[in-house]
Amino acid sequence: MDNREEVREFLTSRRAKITPELAGLPAGSRRRVPGLRRSEVAALADMSVEYYAKLERGNLAGVSPAVLEAVARALRLDDAERAHLLHLAQAADGTDALTRPRRRSTRQWTAHRSLRWTLDAITAGPAFVRNGRMDILAANQLARAFYSDVYATPRNQANLARFNFLDPASRRFYPDWDRAADIAVAILRTEAGRNPHDKDLHDLVGELSTRSDEFRTRWGAHNVRHHGTGTKRFHHSAVGELTVAYEALEMAAEPGLTLTVYTAEPGSPSEEALRVLASWAATQGADSPAHQA
């Protein structure tokens, strides 16, 4: 992934999303492109048009934090987009490897004992550890039962993005498939900015871009997000519809990895469905808790 191209496409796509009305500018007439003109972004950021055009061509090397913040304000970037712009600038400076926490390769990653105990202790809801490429690295028994469709096809390689775009079963598993697809790509795009030299991530993006038009279109949108908390709907083949809340926790001891826990509203049909799923997992002889993916 060429950093200058990434910067250019990200800034261009953000500019296209901001209307003059949203920016407090007169709309005018005879606009040939959606969103703001470069001159308008430059004025909002209090810089020359020539300098902003240089930034939008992908030249972020040496740009100060104050300038980046001015651009972020002008383009009305949210927290995830601001962080992404900062990561792109760090990569342009060659400082990304120095500033981000050291990440161990997950190819040979093994959950340490206390993490396995933690996953084992969570019995009321699915709990799993994933990386920024959306590989499930470790899971409790209920999570393996919950994601049985993902594990059922070896070519998915326990990767949620690969399942989302390449496995027909995902269309049933995710009732809100388009939303799930948008989230998956935004997570991958965020990881690409945060960890631009990850060859495994490059390979995954190349595979999905080649094999899925749905992925390729979404990847080109350059959307990013922080995926921390919210609700999701699923349809499990054994227990039917579920609506669960999720909490995604960044693991301080394992930079780049996220522990996610699903829970259901107490007394709800989804809570009962999770109980039934736990019983189903036991009768199916599911793998031991905290099994490596």
Decide: 167 and 184 in contact? Cβ < 8 Å. Answer: no
A 10 A CB-CB count for 65 gives: 9
Is the pLDDT assigned to residue 213 strictly greater than 90?
Answer: yes
Q: Give yes or no on whether 3-99 and 113-292 have one common fold.
A: no
State how far Cα 102 lies from the chain centre. Answer: 20
Q: Which fold has domain 113-292?
A: Beta-Lactamase (3.30.450)
Classify domain 3-99 at the CATH class level: mainly alpha
Query: How do the domains of the chain map onto residue ranges?
Result: 3-99, 113-292
pLDDT (mean) for 79-83 = 95
Decide: 60 and 92 in contact? Cβ < 8 Å. Answer: yes
Is the pLDDT assigned to residue 1 strictly greater than 50?
Answer: no
Distance CA 147, CA 240 (A): 13
Decide: 190 and 225 in contact? Cβ < 8 Å. Answer: yes
Is the pLDDT assigned to residue 116 strictly greater than 50?
Answer: yes
- pLDDT, residue 27, reads 73
- pLDDT, residue 236, reads 97
Q: Which residue has the tokens 């991530």?
A: 201
Alpha helices in the chain (DSSP H): 3-17, 20-23, 38-44, 49-56, 65-74, 79-93, 96-99, 113-121, 141-146, 148-152, 160-166, 170-173, 177-194, 199-211, 213-219, 269-283
Whole-Å CA distances, 103 to 100, 106, 153: 8, 9, 28
Is the pLDDT assigned to residue 96 strictly greater than 70?
Answer: no
Q: Which of 121-130, 259-268, 281-290 has the lowest mean pLDDT?
A: 281-290
Is the pLDDT assigned to residue 225 strictly greater than 70?
Answer: yes
Is the pLDDT assigned to residue 62 strictly greater than 60?
Answer: yes
Distance CA 179, CA 83 (A): 22
